[in-house]
Amino acid sequence: MSTIRTQVAIVGAGPAGLMLSHLLHLQGIDSIVLEARTRKYVQDRVRAGVLEQGTVDLLTATGVGDRLKKQGLIHQGIEFRFNRRRHRIPLSELTGGRAITIYGQNEIVKDLTDARLSAGGKILFEVQEVRLADFEGSAPRIHFRNDGQAAEIACDFVAGCDGFHGVCRPSIPKHAVREFERIYPFAWLGILAQVPPSVDEVTYCRSERGFALHSMRSPELTRLYLQCSTTEDLKHWPDARIWDELYMRLATDDGWSLKQGPIIQKGITEMRCYVVEPMSCGTLFLAGDAAHIVPPTGAKGLNLAIADVMVLGRALHEFYSSGSRHLLDTYSDTCLRRVWKVQRFSWWMTSTLHRFDQENAFDWRRQLAELDYVTSSRAAAQSLAENYVGLPFD
């Protein structure tokens, strides 16, 4: 069995793991990234696409924002629809010029992968049987198989960036963590369509038929979602039914029309909240979906992962430059303060915009009043805008 030595072993080649490896490289800290999937798989999967201002600033400042600058779609507002009327929230006006940028997570993965490999970074794809050992002490190891051969990594620290279903979080003893979870009684049916967007900015709709979201991935690709049952079968959703339902939910009284085109991807997204505390155990540090899940309504999952690894990158830099463990010891508390604020915002967006099975006429009126308030009060709109463009990274 071969042994590889590095300072930080990173499990997961998604945005969190790759961004952490990139940040460490810029600080002269060696790392190796392990990924169970193929490079093509992690670069092709279309997922999140709304970037907070802080995420954009970090990608740009660290030299991986060239394509983002050219291809990203800057939005200075978002739209709410209810009672067949359109209401715009001017994000930039309310937040001192801050905005959101539409740029797919898969594009970020491509940019970061290219940057790491061009700098001689080590990313091992298609590794198997990954197992963590001795991370509760000071000499953690990762055992795995690569190209059919047994291997191990000896390191100082392990960063668990391998998502909700990864191996890192379950490796922590149950008695060492506390889990918080909420499962929503509905899901999202999402599509990617080869058609120019029908809106100029991300649009959230609360209708009597259920929630709908109109977003985009590029000037040629549209991303749309429908609230649906958790037991939904895609076989019962032919393209024509999807377009009809989207039109009925998004319809307004001002003549707006929905462009239709070939649907190139369909999927069901579960809606859940999850947080594990603490986000560390010994020399293992969790980041991104490995530590927390937010419902996609607030567009926060990717951005929260980037915030995590920025904090972790600073902590590791402090340790290797001065020997101090202060930022490592406070990593979990620092991240969780942001995590729970983001959970609050995502819960508010989800509970305000969706229909619930047990709701009655009072609940419906209350939700409409909430939307009316946030779209007519500058103070309420500013609070929403500050959370949507992203809380400060510092």
Q: Got the DSSP string for 264-315?
A: EEEEEEEEEEEEEESSEETTEEE-GGGTEE--GGG--HHHHHHHHHHHHHHH
Q: How far is CA 294 from CA 171, 271, 302, 339, 350, in A?
A: 22, 8, 10, 9, 10
Of 103, 225, 331, 388, the active-site residue reads 388
CATH 3.50.50.60 domain extents, the chain: 2-76+94-181+272-349
- Is the Cβ–Cβ distance between 142 and 130 less than 8 Å? yes
Q: What is the pLDDT of residue 44?
A: 79
Q: pLDDT value at position 337?
A: 97
Q: Which of 15, 22, 75, 197 is catalytic?
A: 75
- Whether the upstream peptide bond of residue 173 has omega within 30° of 0, thus cis, is no
Residue 165 is a catalytic residue? no
Query: Can you name the CATH fold of 2-76+94-181+272-349?
Result: FAD/NAD(P)-binding domain (3.50.50)
204, 225, 320, 331: the catalytic one is 204
The residues of the chain that CATH labels 3.30.9.10 are 184-271+357-389
Mean pLDDT across 71-76:
96
CATH number for region 184-271+357-389: 3.30.9.10
Q: What is the pLDDT of residue 392?
A: 85
Catalytic residue among 22, 110, 214, 300: 300
**Average pLDDT score, the chain:** 95
Active site residue 236: no
- State whether residue 162 is helix, strand or coil: coil
Mean pLDDT throughout 2-29? 97
pLDDT of residue 364: 92
Is 75 assigned a catalytic role?
yes
For the stretch 318-361, pLDDT in tens is: 999 999 999 999 999 999 999 999 999 999 999 999 999 888 99
Q: Which of 184, 296, 331, 354 is catalytic?
A: 296
Q: Is the pLDDT of residue 214 over 70?
A: yes
Query: Residues 353, 16: contact at Cβ < 8 Å?
Result: no
Respond yes or no: is residue 331 known to be catalytic. Answer: no
**Res 393 pLDDT > 80:** no
* Residue corresponding to tokens 């091992």: 124
Whether 204 sits among the annotated catalytic residues: the reply is yes
